[in-house]
A and B are shown apart, each in its own frame.
Chain A
Amino acid sequence: MSKSELKISIDKPDRIYRGGETVTGAVEVYVNERCECKALILKCEWRTHGKGNIARGEVTSVNLFSGTWEPGASFAYEFSIQLPAGPATYHGTYLNVDWYLKAQADVPWAIDPKSEADFVLIPISARVPAKRVSEIKKPSGACGMGCMLVMSLIFGGVGVGLLVASLQQSGCATLMMAGFGALFAAAGVWILVSSIRKTIAEKRLGPLHLELSGDRARGGDPLTATVRFTPSADIALSRVMATLQAFERCVSGSGTNTTTHRHTFFTRDVQLCGPRGAAAGAGVELRGEFVLPADAPPSFNASDNELTWSVKFVVSMEGLPDVSRDVTFTVAS
């Protein structure tokens, strides 16, 4: 039976490359009988592995050889592939991003032999100019309030319906229906009260102007987070916090088997202010400084797999629910 085998050799023993460098090596071929090869294709691609559905991106594809292989001889086809800047190799909890060279020979009337070798791509250290990120987060509109109102009406309606229906039953059924009715009605009231309180908090605070000093940061960079708002009524602030955070988010399966896995692997809190008052119509500007960890992994976003960096602002007011907003930014490769 004819047999052909491929093996990829990468020149650098540790197989660690920086973005933009060139990976070199050879595809070695062994055959035990004469063998036609339509094409010996070498592909360079990144691929995710871990908890999420697999995402991949092909960067390069080259044909190293077409022709006939004779038995008894060894064949080696050298390659030289310049690597892109990213995505950089990342090994996390649920998300991993890795780089691969894949060789496959197109052999007629036989199972195509193939081989794969992985390598590490580390980020380029060059700096890139960063722009300020500025976002205005308006209070939840009528739509948000409307949705909550509809939900509270549904829960309340079902609850009242069950309570009324329980009056027409007897024995255990009465108690069960009345119990469930009371639960649903209470849930409806709770949703309504919560949404009203949240709306009041957002209206009093007014639009939040959130700003980060850079939209593209790198490990070790300083990052200034600023929040500005002008209350529409006098408020008593308990505190305002900014949290620098990074998380992996992966989606596995599809349909009814879809599961989202989220793992926050970095958080750092900065208090922008403690208890203080803020008068109606008087602008408030609060600022906090972060330093990104030196080994901060770059942001990554592919189908069903992402690594996201963000700053979460939380404004706490006395007697009202917290108002929170996120601003995402990119940690560059």
Chain B
Amino acid sequence: MPALALPFAHLNLRFNPFGEATPSDRARLAVVDIDRFVDRLQRGGAVEFVAAHGRGKSSHLLALHRHFPDAPFIKLESAMRVAPAQVLFIDEVDRVANRAAVFRQVRSIALGTHSSVAAELRAAGLEVESGFVSANADRLRDILERRIEWARRGAGAVPRLSESAIAALRSRFGDDVRAAEAHLYDRFQTLSEVGDVEV
């Protein structure tokens, strides 16, 4: 239990960059290319982000939702029924009990899902843009560096992830961004000074 000081000041940071972020911060921090998805929702139709856990489906949805702030954003915690709306955002759509009915009653819908529901969306008469979310080395580096910048305390150096560190993370965690961030959280807790972060 060390003496108190400003948090992470020794790293020129304000907090551990890889801790939990609020939904609005996650939307701001998302490294996404969503122009075609914004266009699809504006013209009417469906957008689905398909990926396994931890790859960035929710971050994509949150970033897209910033363009439609009035649309309901539903994060399903268990199998449940959803009331349709003109434009609707649903994370974890795999859990929607009445999704065929919902798909038929919306003008535009954006979804996060573990497996594609494009066939069901097309059967409901919606044109579909599918985004298969993954993180290559460049995107992973962008995501992690944006996090570190978010936590920056002031001008000057902050801890840095080298190319070899990014490669090591890719080799260890593949495209599972959440797992890589969890690992870096633990590393940053024990960093004693600014410099290259060993992973």
- Taking CB atoms, residues of chain A closer than 8 Å to B14 are 118
Asked if B16 is an interface residue, CB under 8 A from chain A, the answer is yes
Asked if A295 is an interface residue, CB under 8 A from chain B, the answer is yes
Asked if B98 is an interface residue, CB under 8 A from chain A, the answer is no
- Encoded as 1 (CB less than 8 Å from any A CB) or 0, chain B from 174 to 187 comes to 00000000000100
Asked if A254 is an interface residue, CB under 8 A from chain B, the answer is yes
Asked if B4 is an interface residue, CB under 8 A from chain A, the answer is yes
Q: Size class of A's contact patch? A: 20 to 34
Given A118-B14, A297-B1, A255-B19 contact (CB < 8 Å): no
Asked if A235 is an interface residue, CB under 8 A from chain B, the answer is no
- Taking CB atoms, residues of chain A closer than 8 Å to B171 are none
At the interface with chain A, which of B28-36, B42-50, B70-78, B125-133?
A: B70-78
Do A89 and B4 touch across chains, with their CB atoms under 8 A apart?
yes
Asked if A31 is an interface residue, CB under 8 A from chain B, the answer is no
Given A93-B189, A255-B76, A118-B6 contact (CB < 8 Å): yes
Q: Give the distance in Å from the alpha carbon of A296 to the alpha carbon of B77 in the complex.
A: 37
- Taking CB atoms, residues of chain A closer than 8 Å to B19 are 49-51, 96
Q: Give the distance in Å from the alpha carbon of A118 to the alpha carbon of B154 in the complex.
A: 12
- Closest Cβ of chain B: how far from A2's Cβ, in Å? 22
Contact of A252 among B20, B91, B95 (CB under 8 A): B20
Given A52-B20, A252-B20, A98-B185 contact (CB < 8 Å): no
- The B-contacting residues of A in range 242-300, CB under 8 angstroms, are 250, 252-257, 265-266, 293, 295-297
A-B contact count (CB 8 A): 62
Do A122 and B15 touch across chains, with their CB atoms under 8 A apart?
no
- Secondary structure of the B contact surface, majority rule: loop
Asked if A9 is an interface residue, CB under 8 A from chain B, the answer is no
Q: Give the distance in Å from the alpha carbon of A91 to the alpha carbon of B16 in the complex.
A: 11
- Taking CB atoms, residues of chain B closer than 8 Å to A293 are 1
- Taking CB atoms, residues of chain B closer than 8 Å to A295 are 1
Asked if B22 is an interface residue, CB under 8 A from chain A, the answer is yes
Do A54 and B22 touch across chains, with their CB atoms under 8 A apart?
yes
Give the interface of A toward B (CB within 8 A): 14-16, 49-54, 89, 91, 93, 96, 98, 118-120, 122, 250, 252-257, 265-266, 293, 295-297
Having A91-B7, A118-B7, one finds 18 other A-B pairs with CB under 8 Å, namely A49-B20, A51-B19, A51-B185, A54-B21, A91-B2, A91-B4, A96-B7, A96-B15, A96-B16, A96-B19, A98-B7, A118-B14, A250-B20, A255-B77, A255-B78, A256-B92, A257-B53, A265-B1
28 contacts between A and B (CB under 8 A): A14-B5, A16-B4, A49-B15, A50-B20, A51-B185, A54-B20, A54-B22, A89-B4, A91-B2, A93-B189, A96-B7, A96-B15, A98-B7, A118-B14, A119-B6, A120-B4, A120-B5, A120-B6, A122-B4, A250-B20, A252-B20, A254-B75, A255-B75, A255-B77, A255-B78, A257-B53, A265-B1, A297-B1
Q: Which 8 pairs between the two chains have the least Cβ-Cβ distance?
A: A255-B77, A49-B15, A295-B1, A50-B19, A252-B20, A120-B4, A49-B19, A54-B22
